[in-house]
Structure 1
C-alpha cells in the first residue's frame, strides 16, 4: 500500500459524504472560471472545495450538514471567531448610516488613536488589503530613501506585491514558479536572502542600495520558521548602520499577542503593516510609520509636488472598515482573548509533540502565540530552502483530506493551526486525536507490503 492508495480511500470517503457539495461544484463550473470565485479556493486537499453554509465561533458547517472544528479561520481574518456579535452590531449600525463617503469620520479618529496606542507607531494610513498596504510602503520607501531595491526573505509572502514574487534557487534570485503575466524583470530591484542568515543580510545591506527590508518577524507562509536568537536585534542594527528602513509585516504574526509580535518582543519598526484580522474579515488593512519616516514622507511629497501619487484606492479607509476596526480593537482583540488563545495553543503544541514522540515520527511542531504548525521534519528548519524540502505535497494532501473527513479544518496551504478565543478544549481534543489517527494510518499504509 502507498500514500496514493491512502488518498484514494479518503477521496472516496469525501465524495460519499458530500453529495450537495459535489453538485454545487459541478454547477459552479458554468459561472466561475475554474468553478470558484477565487482560484485559491482550489488549494484545499478535498476533491472539490467544501461549500460553506455558515460559521459561528470556531465551528463551520457545510451545505451537506457536516460540522467542522475550524482551525483555519479563513486563513486568519476570522482569527477571533466567526459571527462575533460585537462586530455584527458595529457593521450593521454603520451600514445603516452609510458605508463609504470618501471622508473621515469620528470613528476614524478613534481608530487612529487605538492603533497608535496598541502598536506604538504614531502615524497611520489605511488600505483595503495587506497587499495594498505593502505596495504603498514599498513605494514610499523608495521615494524617501532614493534607493530602488527592496530586500525580501526567501520563502516570504506579502500578498499580491509584484516585487516580492522572487525566491532563491541554487543561490540565484529568480521569479517564483507560477508567476503569471509579469513582463518586468523583478530581480533588477528585488534582493532575496535566506531567513536567519545574518551574514547574507549584512552583505546585501552593506551595498547601501536597499531602500527597505520587508519581512515577517516570524515566517509563516513557507511553513513556520522562528528567528534565531539575536536575529532581530542584529537586523535592526544593520538597518540603522546602512540607512535602510525596516518594515515588519504583521498580517499573520498579529496572533503572537496583544500588539503583535513586534510589540510583544520589543522590536523597533520603521514601518508596520497589518491586514486580515484587523477588521474581523471586513476588507481592511493599516500601516503605521515612525515620526521620522512620516517627516521624510512629507518632505518627499512636497518635493514631488501635486498630482496623483499612484498610492491608495477609493475603498481604503471607508466608514464600514473603520467600524469593523473599532469593534475589533476595543471589544474583541483584548488581552483576555489573547491569553485564552495562547494557553490553548500551548496545550495543543504540547499534546501534538507528545503524539509525535509516542509514534516516533521525524516531525516537529513550531509555535508562536496562538499559531502552531506541524512540520514534517525534525528538528524544524531555520530557512525556506530546508522547509521546502519538508513540505511533501502528497503527504500534506493526505493529512489535510484525512482531517477534513474527520471534521477538522486547518489552513489549506501548509499545516498551520490557529486557536481563537472561541476554540473549545474539546475541539483541541478532536484535532489531536485526528492527527494521531492520521499518523497511525500513515504508518500502516506506508509500511504495508504492496
Structure 2
C-alpha cells in the first residue's frame, strides 16, 4: 500500500540566481559554523549565564538530552504559547521542534490549559490512584481513532512500550522481541539494536548500562526488508515485532508499498504479535498511520502529544490478548507484576488527554497542519532543485525532514550512514540565530494547529540563505 505523503506541491518563483555546486566545502562550512556560534553567544547572554550557573544539574540541564541543542548550550525558556517560544534574553522563536513532538498540539493550548486548571483548582486532585470519567472518554476516543478496543495508560510512551512488550511475552510464551535496526521506542532496552555486518543483532552505540547483551532479548531486521524479517521470525522465539509504521529517529524512513502488509502477514504466519508505536507518526493524521494505511496491530502505543504537553502514554490491546491475559492466573496486573505504575492514569493526565484529543488535535486541525507541512516540503524542494543540492526531503503528514542524501534512505541503517553533525549544527544555529527552532535531533520540522504560512515561508527564506551562503 503506497503511503499517502502529501498534497500537491506548489511551484514558487525561482531563486534570484542559479547554482551548480553540489558538494560541500568543509573549510567554508567550518568557518560559517564558527560565525554562527559567535552570534549565538552574542544574542543569548542570559541563557549562557543560566547554563553556567546550573551547578546542581548534571550536565547543567534538567535532562541530559537538552545538551543536544547546537551552540554549546541551549537557550533557556521564559515563556511559550502556540508555536512561539521566548527565551531569557527576550528573543522570540518560531518553534518547529515542538518539544520533539510532545507539543504537537502547540504550547499550552487553551482547551488543555482550561481542563487541567479545572482539575487542579476547581475539582481538585492530581493523582489519587482512582479513575475519573475522563479516562473512559479517552479510551473510547482512542478506539475510534486507532481501532483497538481496550486501553491502559502510562506516563510516557517508553513505559507503554515496556508494558506492552511484557504482555506480548506473557500471552505468546516466547522470550524475544524483533526490532528494526536504528528504530527507536524510548528508553526500552530491547530496542537499542542495530544490524551487525552478518545481520545479527548488535547493541546500538552509546547505550548506557544495558542489563544484558542485546542478543539475549532481541532479534533484528532491516526496515523495508521482509526477507530479513522472515529470517528472524523463522527462529520461532519472537513474541512481538515492534515498529513505527515509518521510522522517525534516523530521519523519516517511509515504508515501501506492501511492506507493512507483508509484515502483518508474517507476524500472523509465525505467531508473533505486531506492536505499532505511533508516538511520532501520529503526525500522519487524526488516526495516525494506523487509520490512514489501514494497519491491524495486535498492540498499539502512543504518547507525548496526546496530553498537550502533560506527561502521558497509552497502550491498546485486542480482545484476544485481553482474554489470554485473563486466562493466565499467574499474571499479576494489579500489584507488582511489572505492568502499571502509581502515577499512571492519573486524573490530571486523563483530563489533559480528553481536552487535547477532543478540542485541539481534531480532524480540521490536522488538515491545516498537513497543509503547512506540504508547503514546508515544497519550499525545501525548490531550494534543493535550484541549488542542485543532492539532498532530499520526506513528509509524513504534519512532519517533514530534509536529509543529506538523495534519494531518501529506505532503512534505518542506510539513514545512519548519511548523518553529518557539523552540517546539522550549522543549519540549526543559522535558523535559531534568526528566530526559528528545528528539532535538535537531525532536521525535523513539525507543524501544530497555530503554525502559519508565514512561519513556513520564514523557514524557506532562511533555508535558502543558509544553503546559498554555503555553496555560492
Q: Classify the TM-score, shorter chain.
A: over 0.9
CA distance in 2, matches of 1:276, 1:145: 28
Aligned CA RMSD, in angstroms, stands at 1.2
Tell me the distance in 1 between the aligned counterparts of 2:331 and 2:359.
41
Change beyond 3 A, Cα 1:304–1:84: closer
Secondary structure, counterpart of 1:395 in structure 2 = helix
- For the pair 1:109 / 2:116, whether they are aligned, the reply is no
Match of 1:210 in 2: 238
Q: Judge conservation of contact 2:331–2:337 (CA < 8 Å) in 1.
A: no
Establish whether residue 364 from structure 1 lines up as the match of residue 375 from structure 2.
Answer: no
**How many Å separate the matches in 2 of 1:215 and 1:183?**
22
Residue matched to 2:196: 169
Distance 2:201 2:338 in 1: 27
Distance in 1, matches of 2:103 and 2:331, equals: 40
1:308 deviation in Å? Answer: 1.9
Report whether the alignment pairs 1:402 with 2:430: yes
- For 2:187 and 2:262, the matched residues in 1 are separated by 29
Structure 1's 440 and 135: CA in aligned 2 closer, same or farther, altered over 3 A?
Answer: same
Equivalent position SS for 1:213? strand
Is the 8 Å Cα contact of residues 107 and 309 (structure 2) preserved in structure 1? no
Listed one character per residue, the Cα deviations across residues 136-158 of structure 1 (whole Å, up to 9, x for unaligned) are: 01111111100001000101110
Alignment partners' CA distance in 2, 1:55 and 1:388: 33
What corresponds to 1:83 in structure 2?
108
State the match for 1:21 in structure 2: 47
Q: How many angstroms does 1:303 deviate by? A: 3.8
Aligned ranges 1:165-204 → 2 under 5 Å: 165-170=192-197, 171-204=199-232
SS in 1 for 2:440: coil
Checking the alignment, whether the CA contact within 8 Å between 2:106 and 2:448 is kept in structure 1 is: yes
Task: Identify which range, 276-285 or 166-175, moves more after superposition.
Answer: 166-175
Task: Output the CA distance in 1 between the equivalents of 2:213 and 2:109.
Answer: 44
Structure 1, unpaired ranges of 5+: 445-450
Q: Residue 156 in 1 paired to residue 174 in 2?
A: no
Q: Distance in 2 between matches of 1:177 and 1:214?
A: 20
Q: CA deviation at 1:307?
A: 5.7
- Choose from 89, 108, 127 the match for 2:154: 127
Matched, 1:257 2:285: yes
Q: Which residue of 1 aligns with 2:18?
A: none
Residue 90 of structure 2: SS of its match in structure 1? coil
Distance between the aligned counterparts of 1:385 and 1:271, measured in 2? 25
Task: Tell me if the contact between 2:180 and 2:193 (Cα under 8 Å) persists in the aligned partners.
Answer: no
Tell me if 1:278 matches 2:306: yes
How far the C-alpha of 1:186 sits from its partner, in A, is: 2.0
Number of aligned positions between the proteins: 442
CA distance in 1, matches of 2:218, 2:342: 28
Counterpart among 387, 395, 398 of residue 415 in structure 2? 387
Give secondary structure in 1 for the equivalent of 2:240.
strand
Question: Which of 387, 408, 421 is 2:449 aligned to?
Answer: 421
TM (norm. structure 1) is 0.96
- Equivalent residue for 1:375? 403
Correspondence for 1:47: 72
Q: Which residue of 1 aligns with 2:32?
A: 6
Q: Which runs of 5+ in 2 are unaligned?
A: 1-26
SS of the aligned residue for 1:390 comes to coil
Residue 203 (structure 1) shift: 1.3
Question: Match of 2:164?
Answer: 137
Q: Distance in 2 between matches of 1:414 and 1:112?
A: 33
